[in-house]
Amino acid sequence: MTAVTAGEARPARDRSRRPLPAARILRIEVRHSAFVWAIPLLAVLFIYDPFRTASGYPALWTLRASVVLNKFWPDCVPFATGFSAWAGSREGRRNIGDLLGTTARPAWPRQLCSFLGMLAWVLAVFGAGVAVLYVRTALAATWGGPPVWPVVVGVVALTAVCAVAFTLGALFPGRFTAPIVAVGITVLALIAFRQAVNRGGASVASLSPDGLVPPTDAGIFYPVAPDVSIVQLMFYAGAALGAVGLLGLSPRTGGTGWRGALDLASRGGARLRAVATAVFAAGIALAVTGSGLAATARASPVTGGIEIPALHEAASDKPIPYTPVCAHVSGGVQICLHPAYKSYLSQAVNSLNPVMAEVAGLPGAPARAVEVPGQALPPAVLQGSGNGVVTGSPPVYEFSMNNAVTLVPDATQLRDSFQQDIVHAVIVGGGGASVPDVGTQAQQAVMDGLLKAIGSQPYPVCGPGDNPNAQRCRRQQVPVMAAAARFAALPAATRHAWLAANLAALKAGRVTLAQVP
């Protein structure tokens, strides 16, 4: 073996194994991103806001997934925009533009690497939070699967606000740029949220990721139409592309200005300028198209959700097939729930058992109890005066768990709500009426007597508050309450026999308060 002489050429390094320059820059940006300092604070905020909110909701996929956009996305916006603007203003803030101008690489790809390095951390934190929410829901849910649309919209919307913040930071570098941009974009997000909740301005309401909390039965009986999500994707993808394209066109960030961007034959960077122009134009077109489609949003008469006529498909209005979970209560009455509410079946059975024992065999007493979509019930029920109605022949108690699940933590309220619906339907009738009939004083006394006998609260007749009408109503209820107490004190067999003999006359209003035993 001979030693290598000083002048002998050494073997060249294999350049094929070296990472691409852009990949190396991106790796450096990811490793040195300032966003890592915000992760602990954002984690605490996640636990005390989105996580606790989702844990308080029933274990229904669509309802809990709404937290992704209603809670988690707004929590991420101030951090994501502030640190993105800080990263975008780095070169101008440090006055190293002239130094970087001598590099071989164009400014736009270098800035995109800085932006992507920041965005990688933002999306990683967002994805981790979504994974925690979805895993917790999967452990408790009894039907359905994780919705994808909220996650996709959240990712694209975060990308858009980060791109806008980064571009603003690059165009207007300074120490105060980051907080101003963060506050400004957060305020815009809050305004959009308020418009979405108030439904003031269809375009803004449909484009806001964080809007109304959906009904509990959303996505259970009917699929959630992706119309609004598609429009949001178009708008935010357009905003992201527009911001990125503007970053490549601005002379403040290494571009040549608008005239130079349109001059594809100019020296140096013509290809990048053409790409930046195309990206900017595509972004503006997407954002304008999405905003225009959002202005056509309307409420769906079938599912109760929001639909965009140009994007809506008839398949979104077809019911989702399912096999109900059922049990039997007193009198052989079968009660059936959607499998998504399987965990509430025992509470529903315990609520219906006592009242079914009182009214079994009476005319108008329901032979079955079936859960239906909330929008299938009369407006009075949807507005909170009950959970269901008795309708059809043979009579069927159709109810919705949309209101009932809010009462589940308090078993007494859930029981009272179901029992009041059944007793009112048997004694007064009028199932399906837009405004429920409170009945005559004799009917009220019998209703309240039955409810008192099974340990439930009286049927609500007087409105809340201490206004003159409510006070006068309560004074009129004094003799009704006395008659109800007498009727409740009777043996169960006596009450049932009297109802069997007098229910028709009572329902027709021919029984007076004094005739109630």
- Separation of alpha carbons 24 and 15, rounded Å: 14
E-assigned strand segments in 329-468: 334-337, 368-371, 388-391, 396-399
pLDDT by residue (tens digit) across 408-456?
Answer: 555 567 778 888 888 888 888 765 555 567 788 899 889 999 999 998 8
Residues found in the chain = 517
The backbone torsions φ and ψ at residue 488, rounded to the nearest 5 degrees and listed phi first, read: -70, -25
Sign of CA dihedral 362, 363, 364, 370: positive
**Cα→Cα distances 394→356, 381, 422, Å:** 15, 21, 14
- Evaluate whether 119 touches 155 at the Cβ level (below 8 Å): no
So what's the pLDDT on residue 254?
Answer: 52
Does the pLDDT at position 268 exceed 50?
Answer: no
Asked if residues 321 and 354 have their Cβ atoms less than 8 Å apart, the reply is: no
Mean local confidence (pLDDT), 473-499: 88
> Would you state the structure tokens that stand for residue 377, as one six-digit string?
């019930």
Cα separation, 296 vs 307, in Å, equals 9
Where does 160-241 show beta strands of DSSP type E?
none
Which helix (DSSP H) or strand (DSSP E) does residue 392 occupy?
Answer: none
- Residue range 29-73, pLDDT digits in tens: 778 888 999 999 999 999 999 999 999 888 999 999 999 998 999
Please give the backbone phi and psi of residue 469, each rounded to the nearest 5 degrees, phi first.
Answer: -65, -45
Tell me the residue ranges of DSSP E strands in 55-128. none
Whole-Å CA distances, 103 to 98, 248, 269? 10, 16, 14
The pLDDT of residue 406 is: 61
Rounded distance between C-alpha atoms, residue 503 and residue 360, angstroms: 13
Rounded Cα–Cα distance for residues 225 and 296 (Å): 15
Bigger pLDDT: 81 or 205?
Answer: 81
With 0.85 as the threshold, say if the pTM is over it: no
Instruction: Say which DSSP state 48 is in.
Output: I
pLDDT for residue 12 is more than 60: no
If you average pLDDT over each of 96-100, 125-129, 425-429, which comes out highest?
Answer: 125-129
